[in-house]
Amino acid sequence: MNLLVTGGSGFIGSNFIRHMLNKYPGYRIINLDKLTYAGNPANLRDIENYPRYGFVRGDILEEAVVDVVMSRRPDAIVHFAAQSHVDRSIHSAHDFVRTNIVGTHVLLEAAKKYKIERFVHISTDEVYGSTDEGPFRETDILKPSSPYASSKAASDLLAFSFFKTFNLPVVITRSSNNFGPYQYPEKFISLAITNLIEDKKIPLYGDGRNVRDWLYVLDNCEAIDTVLHKGREGEVYNVGGGNEYPNIDIVTMLLDELGKDESYIEYVEDRPGHDRRYAVDTTKIREEFGWQPKRSFREALRDKIAWYQNNEDWWRPIKSGEFLDYYGKQYQNI
Ligand SMILES: NC(=O)c1ccc[n+]([C@@H]2O[C@H](COP(=O)([O-])OP(=O)(O)OC[C@H]3O[C@@H](n4cnc5c(N)ncnc54)[C@H](O)[C@@H]3O)[C@@H](O)[C@H]2O)c1
Distance 12 CA to ligand 1 centre (A): 7
Kindly list the catalytic residues: 125-126, 148
Give CA 34 to chain center in angstroms.
Answer: 15
Distance 262 CA to ligand 1 centre (A): 32
Share of the chain above pLDDT 70, in %: 96
Q: How far apart are CA 304 and CA 189, in angstroms?
A: 9
Whether residue 331 has pLDDT greater than 70: no
- pTM of the entire predicted model: 0.96
Whether residue 281 has pLDDT greater than 50: yes
Task: Please report, as a single letter, which amino acid is at residue 108.
Answer: L
Mean pLDDT confidence for 274-284? 95
- Mean pLDDT (the chain, rounded): 94
Mean pLDDT confidence for 23-40? 97
Distance 121 CA to ligand 1 centre (A): 12
pLDDT for the residue 321 = 79
Mean pLDDT confidence for 22-46? 96
Hey, is 128 helix, strand or coil? helix
For the stretch 123-163, pLDDT in tens is 999 999 999 999 999 999 999 999 999 999 999 999 999 99
Whether residue 282 has pLDDT greater than 90: yes
Q: Residue of the nearest CA to atom 5 in ligand 1?
A: 177
Share of the chain above pLDDT 90, in %: 93
Hey, is 32 helix, strand or coil? strand
User: In the β-sheet with 211-216, what is the strand arrangement from edge to edge?
Assistant: 177-179, 211-216, 244-246
Q: Which residues line ligand 1 (CB under 6 A)?
A: 6-7, 9-13, 33-36, 38-39, 59-61, 80-82, 84, 99, 103, 122, 124, 152, 175, 177-178, 184
Q: Residue of the nearest CA to atom 12 in ligand 1?
A: 80
Q: How far apart are CA 21 and CA 54, in angstroms?
A: 11
- Do 96 and 89 form a contact (C-beta atoms < 8 A)? yes
Q: Which ligand 1 atom lies nearest to the CA of residue 8?
A: 39
pLDDT for the residue 326 = 47
Q: How confident is the model at residue 179 (pLDDT cuts 50, 70, 90)?
A: very high
Greater pLDDT, 273 or 106: 106
Q: Give the best-scoring range by mean pLDDT among 84-88, 257-261, 330-334.
A: 257-261
Whether residue 327 has pLDDT greater than 70: no
Q: How confident is the model at residue 322 (pLDDT cuts 50, 70, 90)?
A: low
Closest Cα partner for 280 from 141, 137, 148? Answer: 137
pLDDT for the residue 323 = 60
Given ligand 1 and candidates 9, 32, 36, 186, which is best to mutate, with the most ligand atoms within 8 Å of its CB?
Answer: 36
Angle formed at CA 242 by CA 240 and CA 248, multiple of 5 degrees? 105
Q: Which ligand 1 atom lies nearest to the CA of residue 177?
A: 3
Domain boundaries, the chain: 2-248+250-331
Q: Quickly name the fold that domain 2-248+250-331 has.
A: Rossmann fold (3.40.50)
Q: How far apart are CA 181 and CA 18, in angstroms?
A: 12
Distance 268 CA to ligand 1 centre (A): 26
Given ligand 1 and candidates 4, 9, 11, which is best to mutate, with the most ligand atoms within 8 Å of its CB?
Answer: 11
Q: How far apart are CA 121 and CA 234, in angstroms?
A: 11
